[in-house]
Amino acid sequence: MRLLLVRHGETASNVAMALDSLPPGPPLTEAGRAQAEALARDLADVPVTAVHASVAVRAQQTAAPVAAAHGLEVQVVDGVQEIFCGELEGRSDREAYGTFMSTVRSWADGDLDVPLPGGESGRQVLDRYLAAVEEVTAGRAEDDVVVLVSHGASLRMAALALATNVTPALVAAGLLPNTGRVELERAGDGWVCTSWTGVDVAG
């Protein structure tokens, strides 16, 4: 089966470069809604069998046109929301952004127990996210295609943990644009990444 991990469309917080993790969060901007419609057109010929989204409004609004294009309903799943920023929530200054990025990089390098100030640790993020992935993919047929709309930082960490060929270097360099996606294929008991924002990934 295939699992398409998709980042949500643009929000006002994205435009302001503000750290924004608490659901339900802001809605999509006009540009974000256009991105969601473009995503639906891009996936129109993909045999999507299920569409899931995080508890955040922006994820659900991004998923809605994709689901509609395939005659499906958006299924909301807890656990795939953005990394909880704690004391950094709402901040857009360079210091806050630097703290967030350096902490996430330390997680990618294997130090999962370092928390954001007043926020989550990498281990907490992965525990909830991977459990949600297991929930939405369990019992699926070999030819199923599941779309899961979530959030850039938590999505990248999950892809690193799930796929055997996703490296910390790819996670650090491969920042996802709004509605960018990571495509995974089931391989035995795990996953292999086949595409990262449209670029093929070596097995």
**pLDDT digit string, tens, across residues 106-142:** 999 999 999 999 999 999 999 999 999 999 999 899 9
70 among annotated binding-site residues: no
13 among annotated binding-site residues: yes
CATH code for the domain in which residue 92 is found: 3.40.50.1240
**Four-CA torsion 150, 154, 158, 160, nearest 10 degrees:** 130
71 among annotated binding-site residues: no
| pTM of structure | 0.95
Residue written as token pair 């799930």: 162
- Which stretches of the chain are DSSP H helices? 12-16, 30-42, 57-69, 94-108, 122-137, 152-162, 168-173
Determine how many CB atoms are found less than 10 A away from the CB of residue 109.
12
- Provide the domain limits for residue 61: 2-200
The total of structural domains in the chain comes to: 1
The string of pLDDT tens digits covering residues 138-175 is 989 999 999 999 999 999 999 999 998 999 888 887 67
Query: What is the Cα–Cα distance from 132 to 110, expressed in whole angstroms?
Result: 21
Radius of gyration of the chain (CA): 16
- By annotation, the residues acting in catalysis are 8, 82
58 among annotated binding-site residues: yes
